[in-house]
Structures are given as C-alpha cells and as structure tokens.
A and B are shown apart, each in its own frame.
Chain A
Amino acid sequence: MSLQRRLVSIALATGLVLTGAGCAKDEAKSGGAGAASTLKIGLLGSLSGTYQAIGTDVKNGFELYLKMHDKKLGGHPIDLKIGDEGDGAQTAVPAATKLIKDEGVLAVTGIVGGGSVAAVAPLLSEAKIPLVGSVGRPELKDLSGVWTTSFMSSDPGQSIAQYIKDKVDGPVFAIGPDYQGGYDEVGGFTNEFTKIGGTLANANGKTLWTPFPQTTNFLPYFSQIKSSGAKAVYTFYAGKAAIDFVKQYKQSDVKDLPLYAAFVTEGSVLQAEGDAAKDVYTVCNYSPDLDNEENRKFVAAWRQAYPDATPTTFAMASYDAAAVLDRAIGAAGANPTSQSINEQLGKLGQISSPRGQWQFGKNHAPIQKWYLRQVRNDGRALANVLVQDLATVGA
C-alpha cells in the first residue's frame, strides 16, 4: 500500500468517524423520541398560613402549565416536588433544604414571602440551583441564579403615578401598612408622583403608615384623610387588612374620593369585600380579560381546571415561571444541569405571556407593561375589569 493510499484511507476513516460523531451529537440534541430523562423541579409556596390563598394560586398556575404541556418542560417529563413554605423563613428554609438535599431538584420556583426568598436564596446559590421565583422579590446581593416572573414591589406604584397626576385635580393622600412591603409599594408611587410634580395631601408630604398587622380600624385615618382636603387616595394593603380597609372606606367620610391601589382587590379578598370594592381602581401587571392569544388559552384552561376561582396575577406569574423554565430547559441540551438551565434563562429574550410580551431586565425581574383595572360587575360577578394600559416599567 502506497503512502498516498494509506493517507487517503486514514482521511476517509477519520471523516467517517467525525461524521458519525456529528450524527450522535445531533441525535442527543433532539432528545430522541421518548428517551429524554425525567427532571425534578421544586415548587415552594405558602400552602398554609396567612398567604395560603396566594400559595395555592402559585401551585395551581404551575401545575396548569404542566397539564397543558403533557407534563413536560423542554421536552423532559417533569417530576414536580412541592414544599410548603408556611408563614415565612422559619418554615421555608427546612422545606427548601428538603428539596435541595433529599430530592435533588434541578431548579426551584414559587416562594411567596419576601423574607422567605431572602432566606432561601443563599441556600440555592450555594447549591448552584437557579430560582425562578413567581411572587416575592426582596433586594438581594447575589442575583446570578435568581429570576423573578412577578415584579419589583415598587413597580406598580411607579407605573400608575403619571395617570393619577393627569386624572386627579388636586393633592393625593398616600397611606399604607408600616412594614417593608408597604414602604416599597407605596414608596414606588410617592417617589415617582412627587418627581413628576404631583402633590401629596399628607402632612409634611410624608406617607401615613398604619401599624401592621394590628390595625383593623381605619375609620380614624379616614377622618384624617377627609380633613386633609385630598382629592384621591393611593394605598396598598393585602389579605385581611385589605378587606377591612375597603369595607370601611365605603362607609366612611371618604367614600366619594376615588381610591387607587395596588392589590387591595386581587384574588380571594374581592369576594369578601363584595359591593364595597365597586369602582376601586387597581394597578396590576395582569387582568383576566386581557385580549391576547396566550391569555385566552390560559384563562380557558384555568376556568376548566378551577371553575370556582378567577385567575390572579400570582397564578399567571407561576404559569409564566413554568413557561420560562420550559424554554430554558429546551435550550439547555440533552442533559440539562442547574448551571446550563440558569445560563439559558439569561438568553430568553422576549417572552409571550398571558400578560402580554415581557423580558427579564438587568435585575432579573420583568420589564413589563402595567394595566389600570376597575372593580365592576362583569356580568357574572364582581371582577377587576381592564380599563387601559399604563406605563411599561422595569430595569
């Protein structure tokens, strides 16, 4: 055999091997029909305690997405491990530890309380497991593995400030609960509102903070608002406090002042508030009557699966967390790891969602549009009905 022929055969053989390897690689990428490995994903939500209603929405939203997609994310069958976050960090940490150590999940989603997120995030970061949170989002030092499909607490207030400035002819009274969540939510409004030249009716321009959670009687504060000469009120409350606030508002001296708020009529509280909630304006990143393809699919599937509940922003954000993981896992190769999923989460670009298009900003929270809604009778029951678009907020 001449040198020339030997070289040719080596070249051919190498070529064959290379081509074969190429084929093998392609096959791995496509996952091979039915051969994809099952992945474990952890979901942590407040399934008991004060925020039980929100935790249940989070669980239902994620499970609904799985149900609509053959129980698969990115082509892989999903084994969803659910942990109960309880009332806060004290119960969330052991539940998260169980998901990380015992279950060995690839990624974690959910987590309602800001305090729970702050306590669980370092554990996940140490284990290099990405968190696709769908509700709580406190200030965090290390954002590399933390993604949020909900919003930053100051976003709703910021997005509605211009609208209120244009609509309300006079000073606006700001009132909220005396804790971090309240400062962020109401502060988002007051900062932006005063920046664009709005006037607060509060004494010295300082927001009125009511002791939390012990304030159940808001009437004295309403008398104070009345005598301040305010033309409208901006507030944020959740849970039982929201019910007390809205019910007492409508029976007090300020009942004719327009009430603008974040979250006071979102979810199960609306039913408890009943007619007292009528006409209340809220700012939200979602409304069940949004007119887009994704939302029509989402709402139809939701109504079929949970006929007694209206889809909330919490359910929608958890549904989106599943959608985001779906795309990231799909792009992370045949054997997705926590690291490769996290890497792909950063490359998603625009995300189609029931709330409309959005994308992750530099702070790993959505850049998204906000909507103005008003409580009206939608023909079947009281509902948060879409009024118009507000600003797009995010960074």
Chain B
Amino acid sequence: MDDYLIPAVDGVAYGLLLFVVAAGLTLAFGVGDVLNLAHGTLYAFGAYAAAEISDGSWGSLALAALVGAATAGAGGALLSVMLVPLAGRGHLAQALLTFGVALVAGDRLIALFGKDDLGVVVPAALDRTVHLAGHSYPGYRLALIGVAALIAAGLALLVTRTRVGGLVRATVDDRDMVAMLGISPFAVRTGVLAGAGALAGLAGALGAPIIGPGPRTADTVLMLSLVVVVLGGMGSITGALVAAIAVGEIQTVGVTNFPTIAPFALFGAMAIALAARARGLLPSGRSA
C-alpha cells in the first residue's frame, strides 16, 4: 500500500490542476453553451508566460500568473465576440471556429517561442524535496495541491454563494428565463468565457512545471479537460472535481500499475460514462 502513496498524492496534484482548467471549460459549456476547443490553447498562454517570466523569485511567479490569466482571459472574451455571428448555428459551427482559432494561435505560439518544450524555473523555496510519510516528494507539487485546492474552494464559493454565481447557475439551469429577466446572455457568456480563460491561464502559469509549455501542450490539456468535462457531467463543477481527480489518478497510479491499459483507460472510462449515463457522473441538472 505504501508503494501507492506517492503516485496517489501525485494523482491529486495532477487532478486538481486539471480541475482548475476543466472547471472553466465546463462552465463555458453549461452557461454559455459554448464548446470551446481553444481552451487548451488558453492554458498554453499561461504556461508560456511562466516559462518566459518566472525566474525563480516569488514576484516573477506572481507576475507570470497575472500575465497568463490576463492574456488567456482576454482570449476568452475575444472568442465570445467572435462567436456572435454564429448565434443559433449549433455546436458544430462553434467547434469549427474555436478549433480553427486554436490551430492559428498554436502556430503563432510556435513561431514566437519555438518548437521546443520549454523548461520552467520555480521559486527556490519550492524547488526542493519535502518529506511525506517517509517518502520524498517535490515541494512545488505539494504547494500546487494547496493552491489548487484554494482556487477550487474559491470557485465553489463564488458559484454557490454570490450573486454573480447565482446568475451563472441560473443560466446553466434555464438560459431563456435569465434572458427574460433582462440580463444580456451575451454579457453573461462573455463574462464566463473570460473567467474560464483566466482560470485556464492561471492553471497554465502554475501548472507549467507539470504540464509544461510546448507544441503539444494545447492538445494534451484540451483532450484531458474534455474527458473531465464529459465524465463529470457537462456544466457540473462538483462533477468536474470528482472526474479530474479520477483522471489524475489514472495518469499516475494507472500508468505504472496498468501500463498496457492506462492509455485506453481514460477513454474507456469516458465511453462507459457516456453509455451508462449520457449526462455524466454528476449531471448539472440542466435539461439537455
């Protein structure tokens, strides 16, 4: 059992990171009814920001997180504007547009930062080993678990306890009714897409030492967060959290203990979830 401790803890770190990314994707889908295939690219914005800005000091890491969140948030808002002409055309048109944007932006990122996977410098105080029940574990990841848990808690509070959150939940439940109340669905959607982008950018800046910036980053992150969103029930925050941890564990405990099936386990789980409950593990309650 002791052998599984470190991979299990690592799975939580990985899972919480995925949750911060996927929470934005699932909200955008639930609230804005937007299938944003450029979401992984917004994570990459943050990751590249960390690679470029973070130089081992706390201030630079904070600046990287700020720049990553701001650029990715702006990217999300821009996407919302670009989606205006596609109103009423359905998910396929959205998918084509956002995927096209992802391809173009990905190409620009490579032109700017090169084809290499870039390394990321973390503050020296975190770049060391910590002891965990007789095991060694990278300090940065332990800190990331704490920070990601804080972000998750903050997000839960925001969604369940504030007026803005109430609006968001109301839009998930019944978009038309919210529109009838005189609140512009476009404003809500733009706000959610910008917030979702900022979350992705923040996750990218903080998660860069784990899923680092490179030509494949956007695809990897998009794929994993789509799995999380589908598994968790589209639009459900709690569902996304459970699914993200599950995916994290498959990626860590799974790859060593079941190396032959781990690559398929993710998609196997997704297929089973879709077959058994078309709306995911913890559906959001909105009628599809």
Contacts and interface: CB of A to CB of B under 8 A. Distances in A.
Interface string A217-237: 101111110110000000000
Given A248-B138, A255-B129, A240 B214 contact: yes
A48 B6 contact: no
Interface in A240-267: 240, 243-244, 248, 250-253, 255
Interface of A: 48-50, 52, 87, 211, 213-214, 216-217, 219-224, 226-227, 239-240, 243-244, 248, 250-253, 255, 272
Contact of B137 (A87, A214, A244, A252): A252
Given A52-B116, A87-B115, A253-B136, A217 B251 contact: yes
Contacts of B114: 52
B109 interface: no
Contacts of A243: 119
A114 to B, nearest CB: 18
A27 B118 CA distance: 57
Interface stretch (B29-37, B237-245, B252-260, B277-285): B252-260
Contact of A217 (B3, B10, B137, B216): B10
Contacts of B210: 216-217
Nearest to A255: B136
B212 interface: yes
A88 to B, nearest CB: 11
B245 to A, nearest CB: 15
Nearest to A250: B129
B137 A216 contact: no
A113 to B, nearest CB: 13
| Top 5 A-B residue pairs of the complex, sorted by shortest distance between their CB atoms | A240-B117, A251-B138, A227-B3, A220-B7, A220-B256
B91 interface: no
Interface in B110-160: 114-119, 128-129, 135-139
Contact of B139 (A220, A227, A251): A251
Nearest to A241: B117
Contacts of A250: 129
A222 B7 CA distance: 9
Contacts of A214: 216, 220
B7 A251 contact: no
Contact of A239 (B4, B117, B139, B253): B117
B138 A223 contact: no
Contacts of B4: 223
Given A223-B4, A240-B212, 4 more contacts: A50-B116, A214-B216, A217-B251, A252-B129
Given A220-B10, A223-B6, A240-B119, A252 B216 contact: no
A244 B263 CA distance: 20
23 contacts: A49-B115, A52-B114, A52-B116, A211-B263, A214-B216, A216-B210, A219-B7, A219-B10, A219-B137, A219-B138, A220-B10, A220-B256, A221-B255, A221-B256, A223-B4, A223-B5, A223-B7, A223-B135, A239-B116, A240-B212, A251-B136, A251-B138, A251-B139
Contact of B128 (A50, A52, A251): A251
Interface in B140-189: none
Contacts of B69: none
B45 interface: no
Nearest to B117: A240
B135 A220 contact: no
Nearest to B138: A251
A221 B263 CA distance: 15
B14 interface: yes
Nearest to B263: A211
A211 B220 CA distance: 14
Contacts of B137: 219, 251-252
A244 B5 CA distance: 21
Given A52-B116, A240-B117, A243-B119, A219 B6 contact: yes
